[in-house]
Structures are given as structure tokens and as C-alpha cells.
Chain A
Amino acid sequence: MAELTGVVADVSRFLAYFAIWGILAIALNMQLGQAGLYNAGIVGFWGIGAYAAAMVVTDPVAAGIATPGHWGIDQSVFPRIAGVSTSFAFGVVVAGIAAAVLAFFIAIPTLRLRADYFAIATLGLGEITMRVFVKNLQGVTGGVYGFGGIPRPFEFGFETYKTELSYFGLVAVALLVIFLAVERMSRSPWGRALRTVREDEDAAQAFGKDTFFLKLQSFVFGAFLMGVSGALFAFWLRGVFPPENQFTPQDTFTVWVMVIIGGMGNNRGVLLGAWVFLFLEYVTVRLPSWIDIPQAFAIKIFYFRLIAIGVILILIILFRPQGLLPEKKHVAKRPRWVLNW
């Protein structure tokens, strides 16, 4: 019995992690797959979302000898429903909005740049957000220490598997809602207009599209989703830590690899890409505990995963550049339900 609950906790924890990255991959797909925006600053929006949510769901901590302190909100202000605090819902929304606002201000000067220049600019701004601001705002973010002690929405004490399983359920619902919403939006006339920007921005302008505004909408909406994912990640990790520990540019490139392997422009595809990437990680971490492998190899196997990912990426780019599940024809289709206004 104890063994079974251990497996349930472990698998739930992994699946929740997968769902969090899946949301990131869908968010990048909104920006890159639809509007052709080379966002290389994903970690900035993800990180801002994580920190914002972490502050909403924890009490403020004053600076002391052992801690630089961080901002927070007195948890007693949030109403409780059936004993569960509503601060988590606020945290997720605030995280999304914080990332969207950051995206808006980053977009104003940078969205006029084309493809690769936009990538460089967002890469830089993402790093400035995390390394310069988050790491140095000592009393606000916990500085280089970050902070832990973030609770989960549902806590079951020593029954870890219940905590993990319920959190997986919550994140899975978030992923499903986001997936359906983004699919629906991609199939709409709006999604079609975004794809004209991706295909040929000058021609889109010449045929009546306000391409700057369309790119802004796509970028801000994608960043909102990245912020939501960041919030879910902060609760999952039970802490937020600045670059060197968390939120490094490597996270940005991980999302890119997921999208490229899975299939740019296809939301199912990018989820598959996330799955391939994270499943390899999971298996390589757990393998030494499942089968008997020599000690010298066991401690290295985790790093072989990176070689495997590199090989997969090269093979995909050479032989299947459209990804495992290529983009489908997204002909706009009347959805099953519409509003009457």
C-alpha cells in the first residue's frame, strides 16, 4: 500500500509538471506558431508570473538576520470557501496580468523589429527582468535567496499522494481549458488574420491588416498564458528562486525545443513535443531506481538525456521540419456554440 501511494504521488507530480510545461508550449505556439513572433524571453514572463503568484499566496516577510524578506499579502483578507483559501485563484489571475502588462511594455518598442532582431530583444529583456530586477530587489523578491514556503491549494499533510494527485487534477483542468480556448481562437477569423502576419507582414498590411495591433494582441495573450503557467509552477515547486537556481534562459529554449519537435502551429503537436521532452527527463531520472545499472553510469544517465534531445532535434529539423504533428489547415469554422450579440 505504501508503495502504491508513493507511485501515485510520484506520477502525479510528474504529470502536473508536464501540464505546466504544456501550457508554456501552447503559449509560445500562440505567439510563434500563429503570429510568427520569435519570443526568446519566455522565462521572463514565466518568472514574473511565478513571483507574482507566490507573493499573492504568502504572508509578507520582513527583513531579518536570516532572510532579506519579501512582499506578500496578509492571507486573512482572502475569503475561504469550504476551508480552502481563494488566494490561489487570485494568484493565478494576478500572475497572468503581471506577465501581460510586462509583455505590453516590452512590445511597444520591440514589436516593430523583424524576426531575429525581435528574438534578440526579447531574450535580453527577459534576462533583464529576471537577473537585474528580480535578483536585486532584495526586500521585494527575496533577492538571490528567493523564498519558499508556498502552500498548495489543497494540502493533505502526510498523505502526500492526495496533495500531489489533487494538484495534478487542478493543473490538468487549467491545461484543458487553455487548450480548448486557444484551439477555438486559432480557428477563428482572428487566428487567420494572425497567420497572414506570420506568412508575409508587408502583404498583410497591404491587404488591410493592422499588423502591429495583431502582433500586440498575440504577444500579450501568449504572455498572459505564460504568467498563468508560472503561477502553477510556483505552487508546484512550493518556492520561487532567481536565475542560477530557476528561471534561466535554458527554460526558454526548452519550450522552443518542445514546439519545434512537436510541430509549430499545432497545439496537439506542441503538447506531444512537451511530452517527449519531459518523458525522457523522467525516465532518465528514475531509471537507476528501477533497474540495476553500474554506479558510474547511473549518475551520468540524466545528462545523456540532453544528448538524446539534441539528436532528436537535429533529426527532426533535417527530416521532418514541420514537426511530429504538422500544422493542420485551420479553415475557420463556426463553433458549436456562439453568443447572440
Chain B
Amino acid sequence: MTKTFGGVRAVDRCTLAVQSGTITGLIGPNGAGKTTLFNMIIGLYAPEEGSITFGVERIDGLPAYEIVDRGVVKSFQIPREFRRLTVLENLLVAHPRHPGENPIAALFGRRRVWDHEEMIRKKGLDMLALVELDPLSDAYASDLSGGQKKLLELARALMTEPKLVLLDEPVAGVNPTLTKKLLSLLSDLRANGKTFFMIEHDMDVVMTQCDRVIAMHQGRPIAEGSPVEVRRDEKVLEAYLGA
């Protein structure tokens, strides 16, 4: 895949694969093209060259909302919470295929819509409890602290019932105790069959959590393997420290 911004090749003929049921880490110095790669996968940018396949289906070129529908979601690095919606509402809107999201149902109201609403409301509250935001469920999302917004991002991504979750620095700015809890949550979810692809700069997290690690530099993957292998890779050290 390739994506250029002006003259900069942010992602340059980059080819990589993530295996289902794993937690795969994506590392690389700033500006390596990691976030751009993620944005292409979820359909916010269209790749200029190449293709993206999820399972057996090509998903490049699909609009972002259809890609979520197929089970691929991203949590944003800089939280993009819906500011003037409550914390709980931020989760409820993320739940897929709500039967009430059309004007006719909105005007007349259907029992099915409101039964569904109650069901996802319970789900949303459970999800908030997992990230310990339940006391704030009725606050505006804009009133949360930076770390809390990261948690909201994660909870909102999980609310879409995804198969593959792209996490863009999910624990940066989150306190250590809660980080531990979140990471064990990720392991549990992985055990239940979800796949995670995670950008992370904290090498401790990468070492302990990831099954595989991919390192990127200047828009291309330069190394791939187990965390220990990648950490020892010469090209990776060079990319980080400068040759």
C-alpha cells in the first residue's frame, strides 16, 4: 500500500499481514507511517496503490462505515470523542445496526427500537464498568480528563462488536494500575477470538503483551517476528537510534 501527502510518502509500498487471534504490535519511530497505515485500513484514507484484505474480502475503497460493519475498528490516538454527547451515549452510538437510526422510526417509535436501546444500554454500562468510567456515564464526554478519554476510545471501539481492533497507543496517558487492568482485558478478549493490532511506544507493554511485532520505518516494514527478535534486529535499532 502507498499513501503520499504532498511530496511525503507516508506509507511506501508497505506490505504486511496480521494473523487472526493474535495481539500484534506495530512499532517505529515518529513519522514512520503507523497511524497513516491504520487510517487506510479503516477507510479514512484510500490507498493510492495496493489492496487491503480482511479475511477473504477486499476492503480497500469501501467507505469507513462499511468497514466497521465488517468488524474492523480503530481507537484514535488523539481521542475523537463526541464532545456534546454523554459518555454513555458515546458508546451507544458505536453499537452497530441500531434499528432506530432512521427518521421514520424516530417519529413514530417502535417497540423493537426501544427494546434494542435498553439492551445496548446495559451493554454500554457494562463496558463502562470495565474501563472504570461508570460513575461518569451521564457526564459530557468533553468533561473527561485526557486519560479517561483514551479509555472511552477503547470502550467505544469494543462496543462496535469488532473482530479486529486497531489500537493507536491505547495506554499512553493512562495510569499504571489501570493500564495493567486494560492489558489483562485485552488478553481475555484475545482468548475469546478477537484480534488486536496495536501501535505502542512503551516497549515493556510491547514485550509482555504482543505475540508478534512489526517494526516500520519511513513507510515500510523493516522487521517482523517475535518481540525478542525484533528488539534485537539491527535495522530496528538503527531506525530508532539513527545510523
Contact = CB atoms under 8 A, between A and B. Distances in A.
A186 B89 CA distance: 14
Question: Which 3 A-B pairs rank lowest in CB-CB distance, beginning with the nearest?
Answer: A189-B100, A188-B106, A190-B106
Contacts of A190: 100-103, 105-106
Interface stretch (A2-10, A39-47, A206-214, A282-290): A206-214
A128 B89 CA distance: 40
Contacts of B180: none
Interface string B105-125: 111111111100110000000
Contacts of A181: 107
Interface in B181-219: none
Contact of A327 (B43, B65, B84, B105): B84
B44 interface: yes
Contacts of B88: 331
Interface string A253-269: 00000000000010000
Given A188-B100, A190-B105, A200-B82, 11 more contacts: A189-B98, A190-B106, A193-B101, A200-B80, A206-B43, A206-B68, A206-B73, A208-B68, A210-B63, A334-B118, A340-B111
Contacts of A195: 82, 84-85
B106 A184 contact: yes
Contacts of A335: 109
A203 interface: yes
Interface string A192-210: 1101101110111111111
A61 B3 CA distance: 62
B109 A207 contact: no
B124 to A, nearest CB: 12
Contact of A192 (B83, B93, B109, B156): B93
Interface string A273-304: 00000000000000000000000000000000
Nearest to A265: B84
A189 B44 contact: no
A203 B85 contact: no
Residue among B74, B88, B102, B110 having the largest count of chain A Cβ atoms under 10 Å? B102
Residue among B65, B76, B106, B107 having the largest count of chain A Cβ atoms under 10 Å? B106
Contacts of B85: 192, 195-196, 199
A168 interface: no
A39 B138 CA distance: 31
A199 B84 contact: yes
Contacts of B43: 205-206
Nearest to A186: B106
Nearest to A205: B64
Contacts, number: 130
Interface of B: 42-44, 63-65, 68-69, 73-74, 76, 80-86, 88-89, 92-94, 96, 98, 100-103, 105-114, 117-118, 138, 140, 156, 160
A3 B160 CA distance: 66
Nearest to A182: B107
A56 B141 CA distance: 49
Contacts of B108: 338-339
A200 B142 CA distance: 12
Contacts of A332: 89, 92, 100, 117
Contact of B106 (A189, A209, A327): A189
Nearest to A184: B107
B107 A208 contact: no
Contact of A202 (B80, B105, B156): B80
Nearest to B74: A206
A206 B44 contact: yes
Contact of B65 (A189, A210, A221, A337): A210
Contact of B96 (A188, A203, A208, A338): A208
A198 B113 CA distance: 23
A217 interface: yes
Contacts of B100: 188-190, 332
Interface in A71-99: none
Contacts of A184: 106-107, 109
B92 A185 contact: no
Residue among A198, A209, A340 having the largest count of chain B Cβ atoms under 10 Å? A209
Contacts of A49: none
A331 B82 contact: no
A88 to B, nearest CB: 23
A191 interface: yes
A196 B73 CA distance: 17
Contacts of B118: 334
Contacts of A211: 65
B61 to A, nearest CB: 14
A337 to B, nearest CB: 7
B117 A189 contact: yes
A207 B152 CA distance: 13
Contacts of B89: 192, 331-332
15 contacts: A185-B103, A189-B100, A189-B101, A189-B113, A199-B82, A203-B76, A205-B63, A205-B65, A206-B80, A209-B65, A209-B93, A210-B65, A329-B138, A338-B109, A341-B110
